[in-house]
Amino acid sequence: MPLDLFSPAKLGSIALKNRIVMAPLTRNRSGEAGVPQDLNVTYYAQRASAGLIVTEATPISPMGHGYPGLPGIYTDEQVAGWKKITEAVHAKGGKIVIQLWHVGRISHPTLLNGALPVAPSAIKPAGKAFTYQGLVDYVEPRALDANELPAIVQDYVYATQCALKAGFDGVEIHAANGYLLDQFLRDGSNKRTDNYGGSFENRARLLLEVTKAVVETAGGDKVGIRISPVNPFNNMHDSNPQALFNYVAEQLNQFNLAYLHAVEGGIHGVGKVDAFDFEQMRKLYKGAYMANLSYDKVRGNDAIASGHADVIAYGVPFIANPDLVERYKTDAALNEADSKSFYGGTEKGYTDYPFLKA
Ligand code: PHB
């Protein structure tokens, strides 16, 4: 039998009962203190039939926040809140990794105790920040000095230690979608002239330093990385994404990671998406590959059968279908997602989507 979405898989040390992964999804329902709530426990536990859950993007430090209501992973209270989630998912036989996030310039002083957002270069993104006061123009971020970067690497290490204490099966380093590590990678947002700007080697340096430090903390077999080579969201662009991300994929081979996770296009329907050969990049990478974006059951099975992907991450379908695995297995109809309740709010549009069987 060829492999398909329902075949078990191993990503590093993480054993999956199927190849249907819940993609990271920002939901803004953890309050101003950034502590996971009981409502969040219910939400993740409802989705534990996924082969693996990747949590919503989770700030690694106070400066890593860029939206209201995000849960963090750097205080004891946050660890205790997440522990309830990992225990609930494990009790149902699921696996869960936490996505480690620093937003960089995609933030606002009102979310940072008055501080300016930080970035590789002082370039204001187009668009608006989503704050507790509503949508407001982004500000020009402060360019990080190279001597500040070791402390940011250390924040990733501390967050990883917190994640392990909270009982996660692993961590996913968020290097996608126009946030800090992606801002360093791509030359539309990185105009530095030091060791962290210019060549591919220099622009990938912070990501590789973070990866090395996180791998030393958790073990490479518990670490994944998410990239989005051509996603224009958050005003991102690169002059040569294929060569840059081919280089990144080859460099990541040295860490024997649990997986490489790629967003294979543009999210939120914004901007022109450059041509990119994901299969070429995927062949350069020697480990497990998680594909994401706009897959359905048929295309997911095809990507696994052809060897393009080992596992498939589904986002919006998991918002609306807590039992997505069962629905795919039985070819049942899917619930429609209500986009108005994606970001923030109550249990409505969060934990009240119906299961097939009550
Ligand atoms: C979002 O809030 O729209 C968002 C957050 C994190 C991502 C992508 C999108 O990686």
What is the per-residue pLDDT across 273-320, written as a single tens digit (0 to 9) for each? 999 999 999 999 999 999 999 999 999 999 999 999 999 999 999 999
Question: Mapping DSSP to helix (H, G, I), strand (E, B) and coil, where does residue 261 land?
Answer: strand
DSSP string, 136-189: EE--PPEEPPGGGHHHHHHHHHHHHHHHHHTT-SEEEEEE-TTSHHHHHHSTTT
Per-residue exposure over 195-223, b if at least 16 CB sit within 10 Å of its own CB, e if not = ebbeebebbbbbbebbbebbbebbbbbbb
270 pLDDT above the threshold of 90: no
Domain ranges of the chain: 9-311
CATH for 9-311, options being 3.20.20.70, 3.40.50.1000, 3.50.50.60, 3.40.50.300: 3.20.20.70
Q: How many CB atoms lie within 10 A of CB 113?
A: 9
% residues pLDDT > 70 (the chain):
100
358 pLDDT above the threshold of 70: no
Residue 346 DSSP label: S
| Ligand 1 within 6 A of CB of 58 | no
Expressed in angstroms and rounded, the spacing between residue 3 Cα and the centre of ligand 1 is 31
Q: Give the ligand 1 atom nearest the CA of 56.
A: 6
| Ligand 1 within 6 A of CB of 26 | yes
Which one-letter amino acid corresponds to residue 298?
A: V
Expressed in angstroms and rounded, the spacing between residue 270 Cα and the centre of ligand 1 is 13
Distance in angstroms (rounded) separating the CA atoms of residues 212 and 347: 39
Question: Mapping DSSP to helix (H, G, I), strand (E, B) and coil, where does residue 249 land?
Answer: helix
| Ligand 1 within 6 A of CB of 234 | no
Q: What is the pLDDT of residue 1?
A: 77
Distance in angstroms (rounded) separating the CA atoms of residues 164 and 335: 34
| Ligand 1 within 6 A of CB of 231 | no
The yes-or-no answer on residue 196 being catalytic is no
**Angle, nearest 10°, between helix axes 76-91 and 149-165?**
50
| Ligand 1 within 6 A of CB of 57 | yes
| Ligand 1 within 6 A of CB of 177 | yes
Active-site hit among 67, 138, 156, 179: 179
Chain-centroid distance, C-alpha 37: 20
Expressed in angstroms and rounded, the spacing between residue 116 Cα and the centre of ligand 1 is 20
Which candidate, 193, 211, 166, places its Cα nearest to that of 75?
166
Closest protein CA for atom 3 of ligand 1: 26
Q: What is the pLDDT of residue 142?
A: 98
Chain-centroid distance, C-alpha 28: 15
Q: Give the ligand 1 atom nearest the CA of 174.
A: 10
Place of tokens 């039985």: 330
Expressed in angstroms and rounded, the spacing between residue 268 Cα and the centre of ligand 1 is 9
Q: Give the ligand 1 atom nearest the CA of 268.
A: 3
Write out pLDDT tens, residues 217-244.
Answer: 999 999 999 999 999 999 999 999 999 9
Under a CB-based contact definition with an 8 Å cutoff, are residues 167 and 83 in contact?
yes
Q: Give the ligand 1 atom nearest the CA of 228.
A: 10
Residue 21: partners with Cβ closer than 8 Å, 6 or more residues away: 50, 51, 52, 53, 54, 290, 311, 312, 313, 314
Closest protein CA for atom 10 of ligand 1: 177
Q: What global pTM score does this model have?
A: 0.98
Rounded mean pLDDT of 336-352? 98
271 pLDDT above the threshold of 90: no
